[in-house]
Amino acid sequence: MQKSLHIDPVKCTGCLQCEMACSFENYGVFNISKSRIKVFNFEHEGRMVPYTCTQCFDAWCLNACPVEAIKIDAATGAKVVHEATCVGCKVCTIACPFGTVNYVAETGKVQKCDLCGGDPACATACPTGAITYVDADWTGLDKMRSWAGRTDTQARVSA
């Protein structure tokens, strides 16, 4: 089964545990400035929203890369940056409509979410279930269940 990261902003409290988990997984340090997932705080609305790469099926970044440094991980479907090939030209950062692939000055390469090889650290770290890793074909399942529960059919009383 293909899985995908699923974000439910209503549940996000802005604790940034996901950002710390991401940086620790990928760089071995607790450093939110190296995180590939970012929580945005819309202070005046009281909304916090985690945001990261959604792994487009037909990925702009992958199509734009002139050296084919971004490849598909067959197991997870993630679009993965191969650092050894990446030349740091940043064309992918221009091509991506969502801003989720970014340049890292320290390494001279770009970075983006690679789904941690199929066990995303951000989802594991999230204390509220705002970030989950679920069946890619059924990211709407929880919402459907919630609305299904609101239909006014009476529960049947068994004898």
Partner 1 sequence: MGWTRKILRVDLTKGTCQSEPLNMELAQQYLGQRGLATKYFVDEVDPKVDPLSAANKLIMATGPLTGTPASTGGRYSVITKGALTGAIACSNSGGYFGAELKFAGWDMVIFEGRSAKPVYLAIENDRAELRDAAHLWGKTVWQTEEIIKKSHQDPQTRVCSIGRAGENGVLYACIVNDLHRAAGRSGVGAVMGSKNLKAVAVRGTQGVAGIKDAKAFMKAATAAKKALADNAVTGQGLPTYGTQVLMNVINEMGALPTRNHRDVQFEDARKISAEAMREKRPTDGKAQLVTNAACFGCTIACGRISKIDESHFSVVNKPEYWGASGGLEYEAAWALGAANGVGDLEALQYANLVCNEDGYDPISFGATVGAAMELYDLGILTKEQIGMEAPFGSALALTKLAEMTAQGVGFGKELGLGSKRLCAKYGRPELSMTVKSQEFPAYDSRGIQGMGLAYATSNRGACHLRGYTVASEVLGIPVKTDPLVTTGKADLVKAFQDATSVFDSAGVCVFTTFAWSLADLQPQLDAACEGDWTMEKLALVGERIWNMERQFNNAAGFTAKDDDLPPRLKTEPAKTGPAKGLVSGIDKMRPEYYQVRGWDAGGVPTKETLARLGL
Q: How far apart are CA 108 and CA 145, in angstroms?
A: 45
Report if residue 31 touches partner 1, rule: CB under 8 A.
Answer: yes
Q: Which residues pair with 146 in a beta bridge?
A: none
Minimum Å gap between C-beta 36 and partner 1 is: 14
Report if residue 43 touches partner 1, rule: CB under 8 A.
Answer: yes
Q: In 130-159, which positions are buried (b, 16+ CB within 10 angstroms) versus exposed (e)?
A: bbbbbebeebeeeeeeeeeeeeeeeeeeee
Residue 28 or 97 with smaller CB distance to partner 1: 28
Query: In this chain, which of 1, 44, 57, 84 binds partner 1, going by CB under 8 A?
Result: 44
Footprint of partner 1 on 96-135 (CB under 8 A): 125, 127-128
Report if residue 69 touches partner 1, rule: CB under 8 A.
Answer: no
Contact between residue 113 and residue 52 where contact means Cβ atoms under 8 Å apart? yes
- Residues that bind partner 1 (rule: CB under 8 A) add up to a total of 26
Structure tokens at 37: 């997932």
| Residues forming the site for partner 1 (CB under 8 A) | 13-17, 20-21, 23-24, 27-34, 43-48, 125, 127-128
